[in-house]
Amino acid sequence: MSATEPAAAGSRALPALRRGADGRAHVDLRAIAALALPLTVNSSLQAVINLTDTWFVGQISTTAMAGIAAIFWLVLFFLMLIGGLGLAVQTLVAQAQGAGRYVRAAHATWVALWGSVLTLPLFAALALVGAPLLARVGLEPAVHAQALAYWGPRMLGAPLGVALWAMLGFFNGISRPRTTILVTLIVGVANVALNQLLIFELGMGIAGAAWATNLSMLVGVLAGLWLFLHGSLRARYRAHLSWRPRRVDLVKQFRLGLPIGLLYAADIFGVALFQLMQVKLSQVEGAATQTVMMLTSIAYMPGVGIALAATTLVGHAIGAGDRAWARRLGNTVIVVNVAFMGLIGILLAAAGPWLLPAFVNPADAQAAAVVELGTTLLWIAAGYQLFDGLNLASGFSLRGAGDAYVPAALALLLSWGFFVPLAHALSFAPGAGFVAWLPQFGFGAVGGWSALLVYVILLGVALYLRWRSGAWQKIRL
Per-residue pLDDT of the chain (477 residues; tens, 9 = 90+): 444 455 544 446 789 898 888 788 888 988 888 888 888 888 777 767 877 888 898 888 888 888 887 788 788 888 888 888 899 999 999 999 999 999 999 999 999 999 999 999 999 999 999 888 888 777 788 988 999 999 999 999 999 999 999 999 999 999 999 999 999 999 999 999 999 999 999 999 999 999 999 999 999 999 999 999 998 899 999 998 889 888 888 888 888 999 998 888 888 888 878 988 998 898 899 889 988 988 887 778 788 889 999 999 999 999 999 999 999 999 999 999 999 999 999 999 999 999 899 888 888 888 889 999 999 999 999 988 889 999 999 999 999 999 999 999 999 999 999 999 999 999 999 888 888 788 889 999 999 999 999 999 999 999 999 999 999 999 887
Name the percent of the chain in helix, strand, coil, to the closest 5.
Answer: 80, 0, 15
Structural domain contains residue 7: no
Other C-beta atoms within 10 Å of 11: how many?
Answer: 12
End-to-end CA distance of the chain: 26
Indicate whether 17 belongs to any domain. no
H or E element in which residue 19 lies:
strand 17-19
The three-class DSSP label of residue 312 is helix
Q: Is residue 107 part of a domain?
A: yes
Distances (CA, A) of 367 to 61, 62, 278, 357: 10, 8, 16, 8
| Residue 9 located in a structural domain | no
Cα Dmax for the chain: 70
Say how far residue 207 (Cα) sits from the centre of its chain: 23
Asked if residue 239 is part of any domain, the answer here is: yes
8 Å CB contact between 162 and 115: yes
Is 16 a member of any domain? no
What pLDDT, on the 0 to 100 scale, is given for residue 52? Answer: 81
Residue 261 contacts residue 90 (beta carbons within 8 Å): no
The pLDDT of residue 22 is 79
- How would DSSP label each residue in 44-85? HHHHHHHHHHHHHHHHH-HHHHHHHHHHHHHHHHHHHHHHHH
Cα angle: 13, vertex 18, 20; to 5 degrees: 135
Residue 70: which domain range? 25-474
pLDDT of residue 3: 43
User: Helix H segments across 196-322?
Assistant: 206-228, 231-237, 247-281, 283-319
Chain-centre distance for alpha carbon 453: 18
Nearest C-alpha neighbor of 58 from the set 292, 351, 354: 292
Say if CB 198 and CB 208 are below 8 A apart: yes
Helices (H) and strands (E) in the chain, counts: 17, 2
Rg of the chain on CA atoms, in Å: 22
Per the domain annotation, does 19 fall within a domain?
no
pLDDT at 11: 47
Q: How far apart are CA 312 and CA 12, in angstroms?
A: 15
Helix (H, G, I), strand (E, B) or coil at 26: strand
d(CA 445, CA 197): 34
Domain for residue 175, yes or no? yes
Structurally, the chain folds into a number of domains equal to: 1
Report the pLDDT value the prediction gives residue 5, as an integer from 0 to 100: 53
